[in-house]
Amino acid sequence: MFLDAIAENCRDHPHKTAIQFSGGEAVSYAQLAKTASRTAHYLRALGTEPGDRVAVQLPKCLPFIYLHLAAMQIGAVFLPLNPDYPPAELRYFLADAGARLLFAEMTKQSALAEMIASLPTLQETIFIDADAPWLDRVGSYSSNPVSPPGEPDQTAMMLYTSGTTSRPKGALITHGNLTANIEALHSAWGWRADDRLLHALPIFHVHGLVVALHGALHAGATADLLPGFDAEAVLGLLQSRRYSVFMGVPTMHRRLYAQAAGRRIDLSHMRLLTSGSDRLPDDLFFGYQRSFGVTLLERYGMTETGMNLSNPLHGERRVGSVGLPLPGVQARIADPETDLPLPDDAVGEVQIRGAHVFAGYWNQPEKTAQAFTADGWLRTGDLGSRSHDGYFTLKGRAKDLIISGGLNVYPPEVELALMTHADVAACAVIGCPDAEWGELVVAVIVPKPGAAPAADELCAHCRERLAAYKTPRRVIFAADLPRNALGKVQKAALRGTVCD
C-alpha cells in the first residue's frame, strides 16, 4: 500500500531528503517517518480512533504533511480544508463530516470561536502556529512506527466536492484507491528515486497532495515545496536545472509562459512537466514547445478517482487530448441517457471504472448510487470522445460547473449564497471564458422591485459565506433571466449574451 511504500523508502534511504519546505531545513526520509510516527502517537493520545475524521485547515506547511501521514497511519480519516474557507463555509464541512478534531491556524482563533462552540461533534480544536517547530508539540511522543491499516477498503481521506444540485459532498477515498492511483502514475510517468519535484500547488486537493506529493514520496524522490505559486520565482527555479518534475494547472502555465515574454528559455532538462485540473488551451501547448523546448503532458482526473487518463511519457502527446487510460483504469464514452457505450469519435459522457475509483459519498447513499451506472461505471459528468487509436478528448460538461484557475466552482452554491441577500429576486451564475483563469465566475442578478444592490455589496455578501475563488468576479444586472418552458434558467443562452 502507499504508506508501506513510504515506510520502505524510509528504511532504504533514511538520509535522503524527502521534503524541503520553502528553502528551509531539509527533512530526510528518516525524519519524515519518525515525526509522522510521533504525530500518530500524539493523535492517539488526543483520543483519535480509527474512522474519526481529523480536519486540517492549515496553510501549506510541514505540520499539515505530518498530520496527513499520521492520521492515515492510525486509520483515521484525513479531511483537508482550504484555508480560505470563511467560518460559515468551514462550519458546513465540519458539521457534515462530524469531524472530531480540527487543526487550524493560530491567527483564526477568535474568528472561529463562535462557530466551534456551535458544533457538538467537534471535540477538540487545536490552533497551531504553522511556522513553530512541530517537534515542540510532538517531540515527547514515541517515534516507534505505527502499522498502517492493512485493509485496502478502509477510508484514508475525505475530500469535499460540490454538487450540481446540492451542498458539497464528502468523497471517501480509500487506502486501496490511493495505492492504485499512485502505482499507475509511478509506472506511467516513470517516477524515479532521483527525481526532484518543484511543488507549487496547494496541498488540500488531489492534484497537489496525491498526484504530486504522494508521487514523489512513493518514488523515494525529493519534493521541494513552495508555500504558493509565484511565476517569476518558479520560472527561475525551473531554469536552475535542479528539478526534473513540475506539475501545474493551466493558469500557472499561462503565467509562466507570460513570464517568459517570448524569450526562449530552455527547460528541456525537465523530465516531466504536466498540466491538469482544467483543459490546456492549444496555444499554451504550442507556446511551451516554442518558448521552453518542452511538450506539456496533459492528463485528466477528478477528486472521486484521482488520475484517469494521461498523455504518454514516451510517444505522442496529442494537443487538445487528455490521452489514454492509465494502467488499471478502464475508460469509455457512453450515452449519458442510456449508459450504453458509443463508437469511436462519438461525443458522450466519459465513464470510468477501476480500483482507484472512490468508495462513495459520506452519508449520501442516494448520491453515491446516482454517481454510478448499473454496471459500476462512474459517471464523470464530463463529455468527451475517443479516437480510433484510443486518445480521449474532452468536449464540455454535462454538469453545471465552472473551472477557475484549476478550481471547481459549482454555480448552485454561489447562487444559494446570493439568494440569501435581501435585494436579490433571482440570479444565475455562469462561467465566462478568460485567457488567464480559464473561466471567470460571473453572476447575473435580477434585483427585487425597487431594490438597487451594488455589485460590490453582493460580492462582499458572497465572500462572507464562500471562499474567494467562488466569489463572482463580475456582476451583471438584468430585468429577468432567460428560462425554458419548465422555468429552468437557460445558462447557455445567458453565456451567449453575457460573456464577451
Report the distance separating Cα 441 and Cα 403, nearest Å. Answer: 9
C-alpha atoms less than 13 angstroms from C-alpha of 231 in its C-beta half-sphere: 14
Window 310-349: residues binding ligand MCA (CB under 6 A) = none
356 near ligand MCA, rule: CB under 6 A = no
Buried b (16+ CB within 10 A) or exposed e, 382-404: bbbbbeeeebbbbeebebbbbbb
Window 426-445: residues binding ligand MCA (CB under 6 A) = 437
Which of 397, 469, 483, 498 touches ligand MCA (CB under 6 A)? Answer: 469
In which residue are the cell numbers 505559486 written? 229
- Nearest distance from C-beta of residue 403 to ligand MCA, angstroms: 8
Nearest to ligand MCA of 40, 72 (CB atom):
72
Report the distance separating Cα 51 and Cα 174, nearest Å. Answer: 11
Q: Is 359 exposed, middle or buried (0-12, 13-18, 19+ CB in 10 A)?
A: middle
Nearest to ligand MCA of 21, 29 (CB atom):
21
202 near ligand MCA, rule: CB under 6 A = yes
Q: Is 110 exposed, middle or buried (0-12, 13-18, 19+ CB in 10 A)?
A: exposed
Distances (CA, A) of 440 to 65, 82, 447, 498: 31, 19, 22, 12
- Nearest distance from C-beta of residue 317 to ligand MCA, angstroms: 17
Q: Is 311 exposed, middle or buried (0-12, 13-18, 19+ CB in 10 A)?
A: buried
Window 231-250: residues binding ligand MCA (CB under 6 A) = 249
Which of 67, 158, 206, 462 touches ligand MCA (CB under 6 A)? Answer: 206
208 near ligand MCA, rule: CB under 6 A = yes
274 near ligand MCA, rule: CB under 6 A = no
Which of 63, 80, 149, 301 touches ligand MCA (CB under 6 A)? Answer: 301
* Interface stretch with ligand MCA, choices 119-127, 187-195, 206-214, 317-325 (CB under 6 A): 206-214
Report the distance separating Cα 274 and Cα 253, nearest Å. Answer: 10
* Interface stretch with ligand MCA, choices 72-80, 131-139, 295-303, 346-354 (CB under 6 A): 295-303
Cβ atoms within 10 Å of 5's Cβ, excluding its own: 18
- Nearest distance from C-beta of residue 252 to ligand MCA, angstroms: 5
Window 392-411: residues binding ligand MCA (CB under 6 A) = 404-407
- Nearest distance from C-beta of residue 263 to ligand MCA, angstroms: 22
Position 446, amino acid? V
Window 357-396: residues binding ligand MCA (CB under 6 A) = none
- Nearest distance from C-beta of residue 41 to ligand MCA, angstroms: 30
In which residue are the cell numbers 453545471 written? 400
Cβ atoms within 10 Å of 59's Cβ, excluding its own: 17
The shares of helix, strand and coil residues in the chain, as percent rounded to the nearest 5, are: 35, 25, 40
Nearest to ligand MCA of 276, 411 (CB atom):
276
- Nearest distance from C-beta of residue 253 to ligand MCA, angstroms: 10
302 near ligand MCA, rule: CB under 6 A = yes
- Nearest distance from C-beta of residue 487 to ligand MCA, angstroms: 30
Which of 53, 100, 205, 461 touches ligand MCA (CB under 6 A)? Answer: 205
Report the distance separating Cα 277 and Cα 438, nearest Å. Answer: 11
Report the distance separating Cα 466 and Cα 415, nearest Å. Answer: 11
Report the distance separating Cα 171 and Cα 103, nearest Å. Answer: 20
The candidate with the shortest Cα–Cα distance to 58, out of 130, 161, 136, is: 130
Distances (CA, A) of 194 to 29, 62, 455: 14, 22, 52
177 near ligand MCA, rule: CB under 6 A = no
- Nearest distance from C-beta of residue 382 to ligand MCA, angstroms: 11
201 near ligand MCA, rule: CB under 6 A = yes
Which of 77, 188, 219, 252 touches ligand MCA (CB under 6 A)? Answer: 252
207 near ligand MCA, rule: CB under 6 A = yes
- Nearest distance from C-beta of residue 283 to ligand MCA, angstroms: 18
Which of 31, 39, 274, 303 touches ligand MCA (CB under 6 A)? Answer: 303
- Nearest distance from C-beta of residue 394 to ligand MCA, angstroms: 11
Distances (CA, A) of 223 to 25, 105, 187: 13, 24, 18
- Nearest distance from C-beta of residue 181 to ligand MCA, angstroms: 10
| Binding residues vs ligand MCA (CB under 6 A) | 201-202, 205-208, 228-229, 249, 251-252, 276-277, 301-303, 404-407, 437, 468-469
